[in-house]
Copies of this chain bind each other. A is one copy, B any other.
Amino acid sequence: MKKGLRFRWEMRGGGALQPEESFEKKSFEQGRRSASFCLLKNGKIPPRPGRRFSGQPVPLGGTADGFSKDKVYFKKQEVIPMAKYVYLFSEGNGKMRELLGGKGANLAEMTGLGMPVPQGFTVTTEACTRYYEDDKKIAPEIEEEIFKYLKTLEEIAGKTFGSVENPLLVSVRSGARASMPGMMDTILNLGLNDEVVVGFAKLTNNERFAYDSYRRFIQMFSDVVMELPKHNFELIIDEMKEKKGVKQDTELDAGDLKEMVKRFKAFYREQKGEEFPQNPRVQLMEAVKAVFRSWDNPRAIYYRRMNDIPSSWGTAVNVQMMVFGNSGEQSGTGVAFSRNPATGEKKLYGEYLLNAQGEDVVAGIRTPLTIDTLKEQMPEIYDQFVEIVAKLEDHYRDMQDMEFTIENRKLFMLQTRNGKRTAAAAIKIAVDLVNEGMIDKKQAVLMIEPKTLDALLHPQFDAAALKKAKPIGTALPASPGAACGKVVFNAEDAVKFAEKGDKVILVRLETSPEDIEGMHVSQGILTVRGGMTSHAAVVARGMGTCCVSGCGDIVIDEEKKVFTLGGREFHEGDFISLDGSTGNIYGEAIPTVDASLSGDFGTIMSWTDEFRKMGVRTNADTPRDARQAKAFGAEGIGLCRTEHMFFDGDRIKAVREMICSKTVEQRKTALAKLLPMQRGDFEELYEALEGSPVTIRFLDPPLHEFVPHTEPEMRDLAGEMGLSYEEVKAIIDGLHEFNPMMGHRGCRLAVSYPEIAEMQTQAVIEAAINTQKKHPDWKVVPEIMIPLVGEIKELQFVKKTVVATADKLIADAGMDMHYKVGTMIEIPRAALTADEIAKDAEFFSFGTNDLTQMTFGFSRDDAGKFLNYYYDNKIYESDPFARLDQTGVGKLVDMACKLGRQTRPDIKLGICGEHGGDPSTIEFCYKTGLTYVSCSPFRVPIARLAAAQASIKYPR
């Protein structure tokens, strides 16, 4: 390939579509590269600002490139200038997030705003993608470009990289398009070596500082680039402190640090069999590569999976001139939020450490000072900072999360970004910003990440129980909410306990990115060290998990799995409770109560309803759930699973009697016992919903779920049924299935035993009649849903029973009552033949749990055995049971909607799988034209918000 010139395929994609523009996405491969583009159905190219190249539409005549003949794609074959892989901060701007990553784009933006930013350059996310395409190698042309820009940076700084006299030192930091806190790795003070450090000490006239910088560099480089864990170096530091009888790193003097550098290097040599790299250019390229590599480390993959970030995005690398917060007591480093990230309060909120560098504050090694103290210590710096904060907030129209460094009483901004916040804070900030006239209601609604509401919707402590409880300790309220669970001492145990169904509290000296999975499954996190911006606190808030941090009173032995607090000893499995809003720690289990919508939360939710165009219902089987969901704004029940009502006391007896029946008559007798109970349940549901629609799904699970499987239980059952043990055993053995997921269940039960559908219809209709009589002003319209239909004739068969039963009851009651009969679409064949099925189904409800299982051909119960291999190998990037697979399952959903509407234009379309509460799925449902989504009661507000956001983003 000719130097400086590249041959490229060029394509268009993304961009804001007009509402009436449907579009299709296509992707192709050329050699190792693959890309996707999108083409409007009207033949137009969607607008996309900021693209550097554009292609001409070329009708593809042949098939040589693997496309069908009637498609058009965009191709640019002429030789075009080589892509630019490196940007100076002064060349970029805040909109170039995709290319420069969030950190890089914001550094460029701040540079543009004239703020004090140490200059540098960004290696683009495209370089990262290219690195992976090129089998994890940095192409020579990119390396060349980096050093070209390094030269420019030297000119800007007036310093020289690798020079002994006036060395340029740089930081190398990752920066992906989306913020991934704690997941990526950073290297500071790069450019130091045995010679440079001597010159640096001379130049700064501060030998202690120079060697402190060098030892930090060795530590970070070894850890991040060479995979020699930091921990090893910490042991050396601890050894030296002990020997000298001091507690703080700052108490070590220049001589100690020189000795430390020596020991670090010796340890490095011993471990790696070679000297610590002395060539700064090698250091730089290795660091860049390490950042690229870190994009694909397991923690990053896990985080992306949790947050739906595609692995194709890649990370940028920021190479920035160092400024030094560790150059003495006139220096420092800190982080701050323009508003309180836990409560949303409009008050500068932050922490800093003097004579410290980089990660010291967030790593939680020393407990930092609050930003207010800075006002006393360096008032002019504080004032300058406050001014910058105001400017940034005004510029970004959002709460900012900033990093700063003070070098010899000079302020530098190292980063700004829209700050992570708790759900409560997000809500307060959004409402405040509207009140302040900074944003409008739509922007406010869009500002809140729906998933985070979860934290507000989870139970809080029961007030009465809390009154009686006495905290055994208190620490920083790092992430709000209440939690109660069994103590575990490491992430692995947390996962193990959680898999058994235990609720756990993770108690750690401090957390680190390795702990992320364990943190995710925990109810709450308690740390001994670290402040409000420590790793534990930031990550917990992001997850909406309760966290209390920095509890220095705790004496912990993680190895022995024991800690003491308030004079008591706690072992693995003991219960404790945490209050993330007060910081209180309780040495007991405290019961919790439900949350409610009020105040700013209520305000935001009322705004969502102004914009929302899709209904939100709930999946509820009990009046309690139904009332909770109603309180959360559910507009009806989208799925009532009748079988959940079959397990209580007398009911399960009747159910088992039905199962053991040998004749239709016996079965009817048993069903007659269930009838009044079911009718009562439905009446309660209608009452709870106050006339809103209730979709009742008929019996779905295989019958073996209702019978006992151990000998003593079977003997008991035999006694109750007046049968011999052998008879009962034969019946139960006969119910065994090889693949119960695909067995005798759903409408197949009603086909075999129409009397079950008859009884359930009777219960539904009688309950509706009774409710209607009691509340003449309500309009009760029962919706009967037949599950697991795969063929129109199945539905027709069951519907016949339903209609015959219902019509007679309604006629007998002399009522004018309407009811609907619809079906779940949860079998691929139902989606494929939805035009047929819509002839008899008045509504579809997508059962995306089963539809996902069958479309993927794997059972959720068994997938655990192999899904981790899939995540590890990046075959799946998200859990298809949490986030609807739009490519495959979504295609079936879309097809079913189109076919269904073709037959019955006014068909009601809903979703009642667990995906119904997932924001990305909700957006998909809105785009696909669903009438409503249905989700668990606690996800109703999330669904309302997500649905509103979809309506705003894609106006119809």
Which residues of A approach B to under 8 Å, CB–CB?
Answer: 27, 29, 63, 66-68, 737-744, 748, 751-752, 788, 790-791, 793-794, 797, 826-829, 832-833, 836, 839, 850, 853-859, 861-863, 865-866, 869-870, 873-876, 885, 887-889, 891-892, 901-905
Which residues of chain B come closer than 8 Å to A829, judged between CB atoms? 855-857, 885, 888-889
Which residues of chain B come closer than 8 Å to A738, judged between CB atoms? 740-741, 859, 861-862
Given contacts A66-B904, A888-B790, A905-B63, contact A751 B866 (CB under 8 A): yes
State the CA gap A862–B904 with chains docked (Å).
34
Given contacts A827-B857, A832-B855, A892-B828, contact A866 B748 (CB under 8 A): yes
State the CA gap A833–B855 with chains docked (Å).
11
Closest to A34 in B: B839
State the CA gap A185–B45 with chains docked (Å).
69
Some 30 contacts from A to B, beta carbons below 8 A apart, are A27-B836, A63-B905, A67-B903, A737-B861, A737-B865, A738-B859, A738-B862, A739-B739, A739-B741, A739-B861, A739-B862, A740-B862, A741-B859, A742-B857, A743-B859, A744-B862, A751-B866, A790-B855, A790-B888, A797-B875, A827-B855, A827-B856, A828-B828, A828-B855, A828-B888, A829-B856, A829-B885, A829-B889, A833-B887, A854-B857
The answer to whether A797 and B873 have CB atoms under 8 Å apart is: yes
Which residues of chain B come closer than 8 Å to A885, judged between CB atoms? 829
Which residues of chain B come closer than 8 Å to A857, judged between CB atoms? 742, 788, 790, 826-829, 850, 854
State the CA gap A832–B855 with chains docked (Å).
9
Further contacts, 6 of them, CB under 8 A, given A737-B861, A793-B873: A66-B903, A738-B740, A739-B742, A741-B859, A744-B862, A854-B854
In the assembled complex, the CB of A685 is this many whole angstroms from the nearest CB of chain B, namely 28
Which residues of chain B come closer than 8 Å to A790, judged between CB atoms? 855-858, 888
Which residues of chain B come closer than 8 Å to A67, judged between CB atoms? 902-903
Closest to A852 in B: B829
State the CA gap A744–B863 with chains docked (Å).
7
State the CA gap A829–B833 with chains docked (Å).
16
The answer to whether B888 and A832 have CB atoms under 8 Å apart is: yes
The answer to whether A742 and B744 have CB atoms under 8 Å apart is: no
> A832's contact among B737, B833, B891, by CB below 8 Å, is which?
B891
Given contacts A67-B902, A752-B866, A839-B29, contact A853 B797 (CB under 8 A): no
In the assembled complex, the CB of A7 is this many whole angstroms from the nearest CB of chain B, namely 21
Q: How many copies does the complex hold?
A: 2
Which residues of chain B come closer than 8 Å to A887, judged between CB atoms? 832-833, 836
State the CA gap A739–B861 with chains docked (Å).
8
Which residues of chain B come closer than 8 Å to A873, judged between CB atoms? 751, 793, 797
Which residues of chain B come closer than 8 Å to A794, judged between CB atoms? 870, 875
The answer to whether A862 and B832 have CB atoms under 8 Å apart is: no
State the CA gap A791–B826 with chains docked (Å).
20
The answer to whether B855 and A791 have CB atoms under 8 Å apart is: no
State the CA gap A819–B827 with chains docked (Å).
37
In the assembled complex, the CB of A434 is this many whole angstroms from the nearest CB of chain B, namely 42
In the assembled complex, the CB of A756 is this many whole angstroms from the nearest CB of chain B, namely 13
State the CA gap A741–B739 with chains docked (Å).
7
Closest to A829 in B: B888
The answer to whether A876 and B29 have CB atoms under 8 Å apart is: no
The answer to whether A741 and B744 have CB atoms under 8 Å apart is: no
Closest to A868 in B: B752
The answer to whether A791 and B875 have CB atoms under 8 Å apart is: yes
State the CA gap A790–B858 with chains docked (Å).
10
Which residues of chain B come closer than 8 Å to A862, judged between CB atoms? 737-740, 742-744
Closest to A870 in B: B751
Closest to A907 in B: B66
The answer to whether A875 and B751 have CB atoms under 8 Å apart is: yes
The answer to whether B869 and A793 have CB atoms under 8 Å apart is: no
In the assembled complex, the CB of A349 is this many whole angstroms from the nearest CB of chain B, namely 43
> A859's contact among B737, B793, B828, B891, by CB below 8 Å, is which?
B737
Closest to A853 in B: B742
State the CA gap A865–B859 with chains docked (Å).
21
Closest to A857 in B: B827
Which residues of chain B come closer than 8 Å to A856, judged between CB atoms? 790-791, 827, 829
Which residues of chain B come closer than 8 Å to A870, judged between CB atoms? 751, 794
Which residues of chain B come closer than 8 Å to A892, judged between CB atoms? 828, 832
In the assembled complex, the CB of A758 is this many whole angstroms from the nearest CB of chain B, namely 15
State the CA gap A741–B901 with chains docked (Å).
33
Which residues of chain B come closer than 8 Å to A859, judged between CB atoms? 737-739, 741-743
The answer to whether B751 and A865 have CB atoms under 8 Å apart is: no
Closest to A752 in B: B869
Given contacts A66-B903, A790-B857, A889-B829, contact A740 B739 (CB under 8 A): yes
In the assembled complex, the CB of A868 is this many whole angstroms from the nearest CB of chain B, namely 9
State the CA gap A790–B828 with chains docked (Å).
14
State the CA gap A788–B866 with chains docked (Å).
14
State the CA gap A27–B836 with chains docked (Å).
8
Which residues of chain B come closer than 8 Å to A827, judged between CB atoms? 855-857
Please give me the 4 A-B residue pairs with the lowest Cβ-Cβ distance, nearest first.
A739-B859, A829-B888, A827-B857, A742-B859
Which residues of chain B come closer than 8 Å to A68, judged between CB atoms? 901-902
State the CA gap A891–B833 with chains docked (Å).
9
State the CA gap A870–B63 with chains docked (Å).
46
In the assembled complex, the CB of A499 is this many whole angstroms from the nearest CB of chain B, namely 14
State the CA gap A866–B874 with chains docked (Å).
40
Closest to A27 in B: B836
The answer to whether B861 and A793 have CB atoms under 8 Å apart is: no
State the CA gap A869–B751 with chains docked (Å).
7
Of A739, A861, A888, the most chain B CB neighbours within 10 A belong to: A739
Closest to A892 in B: B832
Which residues of chain B come closer than 8 Å to A833, judged between CB atoms? 887-888, 891
In the assembled complex, the CB of A736 is this many whole angstroms from the nearest CB of chain B, namely 9
Closest to A862 in B: B743
State the CA gap A874–B905 with chains docked (Å).
29
In the assembled complex, the CB of A662 is this many whole angstroms from the nearest CB of chain B, namely 16
In the assembled complex, the CB of A226 is this many whole angstroms from the nearest CB of chain B, namely 25
Which residues of chain B come closer than 8 Å to A869, judged between CB atoms? 748, 751-752
> A865's contact among B27, B743, B858, B876, by CB below 8 Å, is which?
B743
> A876's contact among B791, B855, B903, by CB below 8 Å, is which?
B791
Which residues of chain B come closer than 8 Å to A63, judged between CB atoms? 905
